[in-house]
Every structure is written in C-alpha cells, then in structure tokens.
C-alpha cells in the first residue's frame, strides 16, 4: 500500500513538474518565434515570465518518491535541463553575465 501511495505521489509530481518545465521552455524559446512567424512586429511582443524553481523541483522530487526504468529517468533529467526557471539556468545566466557575454554591462 505504501508503495502505491509513493508511486502516485511521484506521478503527480512528475506530471505537474513536466507541465511547468515545458511551459517555461515554451515561454523562453518557442513563444517569440511563433509571434514573429505570425507576422507580428517585434515591438508588439510582450515578454511573459515563467514559473521559477517549481517545475524542476517537482520533477526532482519525483525521483525520490519512486523507482522507474532508465528511459523514464532520462526523460526526467531532460525535463529538468530544459526548465529555464531552474537553478541551473540561473547559475548559467549569472556566469555568462559575469563573463560579459550577455547583458548591457560595460566593463
């Protein structure tokens, strides 16, 4: 019985985390090209922020709740990697900014 409860919790966490991770990826990389492809000018695009931390956290917690086959673990790792609201993207962006590779900083 306990295993069924943890497995159900893992699936719920995975589903919510997968949705949030995919939403963050869509908002960061897919939404703007679709906007431009539909013929809208750049000036009319309104940036919408994703939901930080929660998607990656839910997918990572689903690891702890149950065991799944290797292909499913690869899927979970992939979702964590594409979640642009995750801590790893924040660290990567801060690294690029400190190196002067992005942003409008004059050093």
At 1 the pLDDT is: 87
- The residue extents of the domains of the chain are 2-98
At 102 the pLDDT is: 83
Sequence-distant (≥ 6) Cβ neighbours of residue 75 within 8 angstroms: none
14: confidence class by pLDDT, cuts 50, 70, 90 = very high
Q: Alpha-carbon distance 104 to 99, whole Å? A: 12
The closest alpha carbon to 57, from 24, 13, 100, belongs to 13
CB 85 within 8 A of CB 20: yes
Q: Would you say residue 104 has pLDDT above 80?
A: no
For residue range 86-98, what is the model confidence (pLDDT) as tens digits? 999 999 989 998 9
Q: How far is CA 73 from CA 9, 63, 83, 86, in A?
A: 16, 8, 16, 18
Q: What is the pTM of this model?
A: 0.84
For residue range 18-63, what is the model confidence (pLDDT) as tens digits? 999 999 999 999 999 999 999 999 999 998 888 999 999 999 999 8
103: confidence class by pLDDT, cuts 50, 70, 90 = confident
């Amino acid at each position: 019985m306990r295993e069924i409860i943890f497995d159900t919790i893992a699936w719920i966490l995975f589903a919510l985390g997968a949705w949030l991770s995919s939403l963050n990826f869509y908002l960061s990389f897919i939404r703007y090209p679709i906007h431009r492809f539909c013929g809208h000018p750049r000036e009319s695009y309104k940036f919408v922020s994703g939901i930080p931390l929660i998607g990656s956290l839910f997918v990572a917690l689903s690891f702890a709740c149950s065991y799944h086959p290797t292909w499913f673990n690869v899927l979970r790792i992939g979702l964590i990697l594409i979640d642009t609201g995750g801590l790893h993207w924040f660290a990567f962006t801060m690294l690029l900014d400190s190196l002067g590779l992005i942003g409008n900083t004059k050093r």
